[in-house]
């Protein structure tokens, strides 16, 4: 049939693109490759079992309608799922699944040898075991405040949070095993990892859940070697139902620790025990890791936590204030959310500083006090003006709602405000043209370039426009 399947899928994408958010389209539809069109069955190749299940759960209705629109009432869809065994140099398998109206429940496992001694269960000397009890009891090392209730969901973390909740409700039985959560520092990896463990314990207190930092794991292993009880160490970790290992990047270069974790991982995975990992880098950027371990990290889901948008940052601050029973003017909360954009931990730290200053000096919490405190804080963290903040300043200057600047309207005053926001974003941030366009009405980089040229031309020819630019620039530098 030549390239008929490609043409059909391109037509489907045209419809899908108009019916899903931009980021969802990039994440879930761009990686799909059309494979064949046999009679009225279109086969699509997807990267993983998890990918297939996610499409079936969230986009099946849209996919079916689109396929039937292009192929008629008899049109059907099949998936070709790539399963990378990453074991004994085996080639990736391609497994065909028909589409359905419910989430797939197929589970595939690969048998792997583990040449470890398996002694009888007994009391094991380990720092996490509470002594004096006949039955082994493990202190989970979980922090109660790091719960799902206290985790603010937004576009920046929705995938990771949804996967985490699914795991917590059915540990070891989903396609998300292992779950690897990665992001820059201060964006909530540890919080989400603890939340999963806490929810598992809440559902089933008898489950053995353990949160441990990679550095602690390494130190325990070194101690077990020194005390000649490596088997005890391994047996302990093989008993865990949900193992949460934080900051796995610290395993890099530690060959012996990686080797022992490899065997622990295999045992837990084979026995449908849940593994949750966190890292400051995605798997492909983890240097100094054994390939066989890296391949296992890719078996489940690697989900990133992105920098939260303005609304999510405001929600985080308001939730914290509500939880602590503290009232604060909205303008102070918004100023704080605008000022610190890339690190939730730093933003919460600045909030605590404002509260402490107000309490100790018996001052009211005002915008002026917040500016004094945040300016000191921001200088020490080398703050960069955010695109969100630029949009707010521009919109406030022209007395228009911020959502208008991102709308599709072609009204002259709104187009001009949007162009100014793009111009100042290019001038005051390190963001790429594509990123600026994405934040300013989902435009492409060519539109941003055009906006910058337009503003520069008007600066030379329009005195009133030059006043606008100078005024806004001063406000941005305050």
| Beta bridge partners of residue 244, listed in sequence order | 211, 276
In a domain, 135, yes or no: no
Are 52 and 83 in the same domain? yes
Angle (deg, nearest 10), helices 255-270 and 230-238: 40
Are 177 and 285 in the same domain? yes
Are 83 and 179 in the same domain? no
pLDDT at residue 261 is higher than 70: yes
Q: Which helix (H) or strand (E) holds 211?
A: strand 209-213
Are 194 and 238 in the same domain? yes
> The domain that contains 50 carries what CATH number?
3.30.300.180
Q: Write down the pLDDT at residue 422.
A: 92
In a domain, 299, yes or no: yes
Confidence of residue 245 (pLDDT cuts 50, 70, 90): very high
Are 286 and 167 in the same domain? yes
Tens digits of per-residue pLDDT, 16-60?
988 888 877 887 888 888 888 888 888 888 877 667 777 877 888
Peptide bond into 384 cis (omega under 30): no
What tokens were used for 97?
């699944």
In a domain, 360, yes or no: yes
Q: Which helix (H) or strand (E) holds 98?
A: strand 93-98
Are 167 and 279 in the same domain? yes
> Rounded CA gap, 306 and 187, in Å?
7
Are 62 and 41 in the same domain? yes
Q: Write down the pLDDT at residue 78.
A: 82
Are 10 and 93 in the same domain? yes
Confidence of residue 384 (pLDDT cuts 50, 70, 90): low
Confidence of residue 277 (pLDDT cuts 50, 70, 90): very high
In a domain, 109, yes or no: no
Confidence of residue 278 (pLDDT cuts 50, 70, 90): very high
Half-sphere exposure of 118 (CA within 13 A, CB side): 7
Are 246 and 289 in the same domain? yes
Confidence of residue 478 (pLDDT cuts 50, 70, 90): low
> The domain that contains 407 carries what CATH number?
1.10.1750.10
Tens digits of per-residue pLDDT, 79-137?
776 544 333 443 444 445 555 543 333 333 322 222 333 333 333 344 444 343 334 56
Contacts of 36 (CB under 8 A, 6+ apart): 1, 5, 42, 43
State mean pLDDT over 425-433. Answer: 82
With the C-alpha atoms ordered 70, 71, 73, 76, is the resulting torsion angle positive or negative? Answer: negative
Are 329 and 278 in the same domain? no
In a domain, 105, yes or no: no
> Rounded CA gap, 303 and 158, in Å?
10
Domain end (from 349, 380, 411): 380
Rounded (5°) CA angle 297-302-308 = 150
Q: Write down the pLDDT at residue 98.
A: 57
For 257, other C-beta atoms within 10 Å of its C-beta total 20
Domain end (from 304, 325, 355): 304
Q: Write down the pLDDT at residue 274.
A: 94
Q: How many domains does the chain have?
A: 4
In a domain, 239, yes or no: yes
Q: Report which DSSP code applies to 129.
A: B
**pLDDT mean across residues, the chain:** 79
Whole domain around residue 321: which residue ranges? Answer: 310-380
Q: Write down the pLDDT at residue 427.
A: 86
Sheet holding 41-46, edge to edge: 33-38, 41-46, 76-83, 93-98
Are 167 and 263 in the same domain? yes
Place of tokens 């497994």: 95
Are 169 and 285 in the same domain? yes
Domain end (from 269, 304, 339): 304
> Rounded CA gap, 51 and 53, in Å?
5
Tens digits of per-residue pLDDT, 289-346?
888 888 888 888 888 888 887 788 888 888 878 877 777 888 888 888 877 777 787 7
In a domain, 189, yes or no: yes
In a domain, 126, yes or no: no
Contacts of 94 (CB under 8 A, 6+ apart): 45, 80, 81, 82, 83
């Amino acid at each position: 049939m030549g390239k008929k399947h490609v043409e059909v899928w391109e037509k489907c994408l045209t419809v899908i693109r108009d019916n899903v958010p931009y980021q969802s389209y990039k994440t879930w539809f761009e990686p799909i490759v059309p494979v064949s069109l046999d009679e009225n069955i279109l086969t699509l190749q997807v990267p993983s079992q998890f990918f297939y299940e996610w499409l079936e759960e969230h986009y099946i209705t849209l996919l079916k309608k689109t396929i039937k629109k292009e192929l008629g009432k008899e049109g059907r869809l099949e998936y070709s799922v790539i399963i990378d065994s990453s074991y004994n140099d085996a080639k990736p398998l391609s497994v065909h699944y028909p589409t359905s109206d419910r989430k797939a429940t197929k589970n595939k496992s690969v048998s792997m040898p583990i040449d470890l001694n398996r002694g009888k269960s007994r009391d094991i000397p380990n720092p996490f075991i509470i002594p004096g009890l006949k039955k082994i009891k493990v202190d989970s090392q979980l922090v109660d405040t790091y719960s799902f209730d206290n985790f603010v969901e937004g576009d920046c973390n929705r995938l990771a949070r949804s996967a985490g909740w699914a795991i917590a409700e059915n540990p070891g039985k989903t396609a998300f095993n292992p779950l690897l959560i990665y992001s820059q520092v201060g964006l909530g990896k540890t919080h989400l990892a603890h939340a999963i463990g806490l929810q598992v314990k809440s559902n089933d207190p008898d489950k053995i859940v353990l949160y441990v930092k990679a550095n602690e794991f390494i130190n325990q292993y070194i101690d077990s070697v020194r005390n000649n009880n490596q088997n005890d160490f391994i047996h302990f970790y093989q008993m865990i139902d949900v193992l949460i290992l934080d900051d796995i990047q610290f395993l890099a270069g530690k060959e012996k620790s990686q080797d022992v974790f490899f065997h622990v991982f295999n045992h837990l995975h084979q026995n449908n025990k849940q593994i949750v990992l966190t890292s400051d880098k995605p798997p492909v950027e983890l240097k100094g890791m054994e390939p066989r371990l890296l391949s296992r990290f890719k078996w489940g889901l690697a989900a990133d936590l992105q920098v939260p948008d303005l609304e999510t940052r405001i929600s985080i601050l308001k939730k914290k204030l509500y939880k602590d029973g503290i009232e604060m003017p909205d303008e102070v909360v918004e100023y704080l959310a605008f000022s610190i954009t890339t690190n939730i931990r730093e933003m919460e730290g600045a909030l605590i500083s404002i509260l402490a200053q107000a309490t100790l000096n018996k001052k009211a919490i005002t915008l002026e006090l917040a500016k004094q405190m945040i300016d000191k804080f921001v200088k020490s963290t080398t703050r960069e003006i955010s695109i969100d903040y630029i949009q707010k300043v521009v919109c406030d200057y022209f007395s228009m709602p911020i959502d208008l600047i991102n709308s599709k309207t072609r009204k002259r005053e709104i187009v001009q405000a949007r162009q100014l926001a793009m111009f100042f974003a290019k001038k005051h941030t390190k963001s790429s043209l594509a990123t600026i366009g994405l934040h300013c009405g989902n435009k492409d980089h060519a539109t941003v370039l055009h906006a910058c040229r337009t503003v520069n031309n008007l600066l030379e020819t329009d005195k009133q426009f030059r006043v606008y630019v100078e005024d806004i620039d001063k406000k941005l530098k305050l």
